[in-house]
Amino acid sequence: MLTGQIKFTKEDLLQWIENYRWMVETIEEAKQPVAKMNNNSYIRAKTAMYGLEATLPKASGGTSDPVFTEVQRRVYSLNFRIKQYEQKIAEVQKHIPFVEGDREVEVLHRLLDGDSMRAIGKHMGLSSTTIFRVRNNILSQMMK
């Protein structure tokens, strides 16, 4: 699913629009600690050895340190999720130009900002039912 064109349904697109804000925030938040860990070599850090232990041969292969293994697992999982979020965000952004109409564009951008249907309706002076219809119209336009 991470390579090539993503196939998605109207429901998938709606979910991505509703989750857009927190996916962007998660990516921003997650990239900082990963960059920090890679720059400070936190993941590659090992305990210094002195005396006789320093002269003995070291085992090749992985490490038996459970903390190190857990950090590696979390970094791998985080990188995988970030790639998925980036692809979903890119798909939404790729379809934004298909949305026509001032009202539709305003509702779409407010949805992407994480506003609720009720908050959008209140801001625009429209009922939440009207906003719901506009949202469905937006999805139809984006699926073209």
Position 42 scores a pLDDT of 46
Structure tokens at 88: 């979903």
Q: Are 128 and 121 a contacting pair, CB within 8 Å?
A: yes
Position 36 scores a pLDDT of 55
Query: What is the per-residue pLDDT across 32-50, written as a single tens digit (0 to 9) for each?
Result: 755 555 544 444 555 566 7
Position 88 scores a pLDDT of 96
Residues with pLDDT less than 70, the chain = 1-5, 33-49, 58-63
Position 18 scores a pLDDT of 95
What is d(CA 144, CA 138) in angstroms, rounded to the nearest whole number? 10
Q: Are 138 and 109 a contacting pair, CB within 8 Å?
A: no
Position 60 scores a pLDDT of 63
Position 96 scores a pLDDT of 96
**Cβ within 8 Å of residue 18, ≥6 positions away:** 111
Structure tokens at 48: 């210094």
What is d(CA 112, CA 134) in angstroms, rounded to the nearest whole number? 14
Among residues 79, 92, 84, 128, which one has the least CA distance to residue 20?
92
CB atoms within 10 A of CB 131: 24
